[in-house]
Structure 1
Amino acid sequence: MGDTVRAQLWPLPTLGVVLAVTAGVGLPRLDARIQHDIPPWLTDYLFGGGADAARTVLEAIAGSLISVTALTFSLTVVTLQLASSQFSPRLLRTFTADRYVQTTLALFLATFTYALTVLRTVRTGDDEKVMFVPQVSVTVAFLLTLASVLGLVLFLSHLTREIRVETMMQSVHSAANHTIHRLLPERAPAAGGPGAPPEPSADALPLPVRKPGFLTAVDEEALLEAAVEAGAVLLIDRHPGSSLITGTPMGAAWPLSGEPFSPETRTDLVRKAAEAVSTGAERTEAQDVAFGLRQLTDITAKALSPGVNDPTTAVHALSHSSALLCELAHRDLGPRVLHDDHHRVRVVLQRPDLGNLLDLAVAQPLRYGAGEPAVLNRIAMLLRELAWNTTPDQHPPIVAALDRLRTTAADQDLHAAEHVRLTELAQQVEKALVGHWTFDRVP
């Protein structure tokens, strides 16, 4: 839920409006109390005009800020449309979660709201009312306006940088890297991976999905508690990022002791398992270690489409994918196993392995970029880099991807020199698999 709120544009601007209303009501009251006690040296720096001048200033601030806010929203929407159509719809979260954009909108709306709120307290002395000009409040409105002007300049500079595809890919890479380091422990030096987790029995209790959507988070503590209370072992075979359909099994449960579950236990276990799994309308990076690769692969596929035809961007995206895969190779990608206080297996959570992640990063670029030598070369280099960062037990998916690359390249009508270069790169992948790195000759 917290990650979903952070990716929305409205929370921070709404908070800014609330604070602006509070300040717009409170500061004029403070003005009325200290108006005759302000030191002369400070008065020179405060607003010195009359009531009509104060109204004019506040009206000008309110009118101009609402126009600037509309412009900012328009530029943000255009940026979102550009990112969605040219790169990937999955990149929209990167912009809506951008604190710089949210803060800028909050500043503009807060300044507009504050100016309107203070405007209602200015009295000209007509209708037998005593004239009142909140000097401090109007001065604060002026300072907020200067901050808004500076914020607009910085926002435009920030936006022009953010819409560059290199910046987008770096943002995706950084977010994915943060998720990897937060969720996945380092792989044990001994390699070989953990032992095989327990398999469900033939009469295991299916755990159906209660709410459809993408699996966004799993409450591990709630699952472990439910398993211990029911005397059961739980298997959740769908990992964050998977699409869940109501009524279909997302896992299974079976009794640890071998005794069948009672009807009450079965009902309670199914309910608690469903409550421990959160779903949403879109994937997030909260617990989804593959989401960053999915976004980078989307950028690659879009760049290789006939309407865009930008192999350079595809090559750059594959470079980021290679860096993430090499980082993942040093992490524990096996199923996550939770134990009770007696060190007995109680919950097994499936996670994508290196083969799944490599297929995600390579399969579509290899299909859509089969006729582009630069893309094929970069995929070969990706496999070489990954081979260098893996242990022998992790090599089978790399070997399979290399075979697929060779088969794809052989079917393409490429120049003889391009075939020779691909053959050399494929041989370099094989050498990297046995721990030997070859260097290109210097002409």
Structure 2
Amino acid sequence: MSNRDSHRGGPLSRLVGMVRGSLWPIPALGVVLAVALGILLPELDEHWATREHPLTFAFGGGASAARDLLAAIAGSLISVTGVTFSLTVVALQLSSSQFTPRLLQTFSTDRTVQLTLAQLVLTFVYALTVLRTVRTESATEDETAFVPRLSISVAYLLALGSVLALVLFLGHLSRLLRVETMLRDVHDEATQTVGRELDGPDGGARDTVEHHGAGPPVPLVARSSGFLVGVDERAAVAAAREAGVVVTLAVRIGDSVVEGTPVAHARSFAPGGSPDAETLEKALDSSFQLHYERTPDRDLAYGLRKVVDICVRALSPGTNDPTTAVHALSHASAMLGRFAERPVDPRSCRDEEQLVRLVVPPWELPELLQLTIEEPLQFAEGQPTVLRRLAGLLREFAWRAQGRAVDDLVCSYVDAVAERALASTGITESETRAWRQKVRQALAGSWPAEVG
């Protein structure tokens, strides 16, 4: 494992993942910027107060007009912010109940949403901060008023920007709530995860695990519960090196970890050696990044899971939307194809002496295919369009998965799709026979031209 990779899953990576997956960081930065501007710009105005103001377009009203304008900006924006995002949350809740609740996570990481909220709260906080510096003649001992003209002009411009941001946000929200946009966003998110995990300098061709230890495997149990969203590989490798063992995880990134159950096995490099299980369990517990929900940062299967959820929800009797299910299966086919073209071995992490100390299992291709096919097939009864798309997906996957030792599994799935079609729809046996033939031809590297 290279030095760069040894830091994967460390504190910095954990912080970046938390910031990327949260709604608040950019708006919080906007609040800080608003306070800074609200303090610095009035100081600049006060510096210019004793001479002719260099900006002729600056605010020209008195102190009372300035207070009224700033109060109107602050009051209206905080109301607009509350109402806008309340309606947005209601709309997204309805959308999540129709498609999948996991889409709310995509909304919170949307840059347009974050920037719009930042613009609104920045203008509100800035107006309040500048308002405290406006002084009327009766409020000062020397009866001199102070009107920060440049600061108020900036507040006016920020208010105009907030109105424009609100209009653009509503247009963006109307697109965001469309199922096609949601599928595209999930697909793009999954593509980025694949790029980080498989297309990087260490992606795809992982180290081959050469040594699993000589001693008997000792189970290591989890001390906390949650979804495994990452591993501090450097800390885990250091703990395994100190104990003289190689640790093989029994869970993948994205799997659920349950307290008190085995999550790994440790083998000593010395024959007959017995590692200290309690010490290793504590080290693993501190190196595991557990969360209450799965995240797309390193979880290769999470995007596929969300697309399948949309497909299954579309096939439910309450929704009955086969068109959405077909679109979701098309995205799933494209995502599966990327996995099929990138063989992934277990990730082996080495110490300074180049000895394997930690083995992280990957999502295997048969498991990803099962995730994609199993549930849609279960709910596609009586849906000829969806069953035809499932057969097409298997053919597309078979073409891209040649030589990946999944031929029997693909053939068994196309047989199951054909049987479900014959039993629940008017699809003819000759058509299902053609499905089977096309899948087997694709596995053999043949894609005949359609006749007619």
What is the CA-CA distance between 1:211 and the residue it aligns to? Answer: 1.4
Percent of aligned pairs with the same residue?
Answer: 46
What is the CA-CA distance between 1:253 and the residue it aligns to? Answer: 0.4
Kindly indicate whether residue 43 of structure 2 is the aligned counterpart of residue 60 of structure 1: no
The letter of the residue matching 1:437 is: W
Q: Deviations over 1:314-361 (max 9, x none)?
A: 000000000001000111223222334554433221111110000001
Residue in structure 1 matching 2:175, options 136, 156, 161: 161
In 1, Cα distance between equivalents of 2:417 and 2:138 = 84
Indicate the SS of the match to 2:424: coil
Query: Using a 3 Å threshold, how does the CA distance of structure 1 residues 38 and 320 change in structure 2: closer, same or farther?
Result: farther
Q: Deviations over 1:247-287 (max 9, x none)?
A: 1110110101224236xx44332211221111000000111
Kindly indicate whether residue 382 of structure 2 is the aligned counterpart of residue 371 of structure 1: yes
1:98 matched residue in structure 2: 110
In 2, Cα distance between equivalents of 1:198 and 1:407 = 45
Q: Deviations over 1:274-325 (max 9, x none)?
A: 2111100000011110000000000000000000000000000000000001
1:33 matched residue in structure 2: 47
Contact 1:13 1:105 in 2 (8 A): yes
Q: Which runs of 5+ in 1 are unaligned?
A: none
Q: Which runs of 5+ in 2 are unaligned?
A: 1-13
In 2, Cα distance between equivalents of 1:316 and 1:275 = 41
Contact 1:209 1:250 in 2 (8 A): yes
What is the CA-CA distance between 1:23 and the residue it aligns to? Answer: 1.8
What is the CA-CA distance between 1:197 and the residue it aligns to? Answer: 6.9
Contact 1:72 1:105 in 2 (8 A): no
Contact 1:19 1:110 in 2 (8 A): yes
TM (normalized to structure 2)? 0.90
Indicate the SS of the match to 1:422: helix
The letter of the residue matching 2:85 is: F
Residue in structure 2 matching 1:283, options 294, 305, 326: 294
Give me the CA root mean square deviation. 2.4
In 2, Cα distance between equivalents of 1:232 and 1:64 = 63
The letter of the residue matching 2:330 is: S
1:391 matched residue in structure 2: 402
1:50 matched residue in structure 2: 62
Query: Using a 3 Å threshold, how does the CA distance of structure 1 residues 367 and 198 change in structure 2: closer, same or farther?
Result: farther
1:133 matched residue in structure 2: 147
Equivalence map 1:227-242=2 (5 Å) = 227-242=240-255
Equivalence map 1:14-413=2 (5 Å) = 14-38=28-52, 40=54, 42=55, 44-127=56-139, 128=141, 129-185=143-199, 203-261=216-274, 265-396=276-407, 397-410=409-422, 412-413=423-424
Contact 1:238 1:251 in 2 (8 A): yes
How many residue pairs were aligned? Answer: 434
In 2, Cα distance between equivalents of 1:243 and 1:351 = 14
Which 10-residue stretch deviates more, 340-349 or 360-369?
340-349
Contact 1:209 1:249 in 2 (8 A): yes
The letter of the residue matching 1:249 is: P
Contact 1:62 1:111 in 2 (8 A): yes
Q: Deviations over 1:342-384 (max 9, x none)?
A: 5443322111111000000110000001221111111111111
Query: Using a 3 Å threshold, how does the CA distance of structure 1 residues 99 and 59 change in structure 2: closer, same or farther?
Result: same
Indicate the SS of the match to 1:441: coil
What is the CA-CA distance between 1:87 and the residue it aligns to? Answer: 0.7
In 2, Cα distance between equivalents of 1:132 and 1:16 = 26
Contact 1:62 1:115 in 2 (8 A): yes
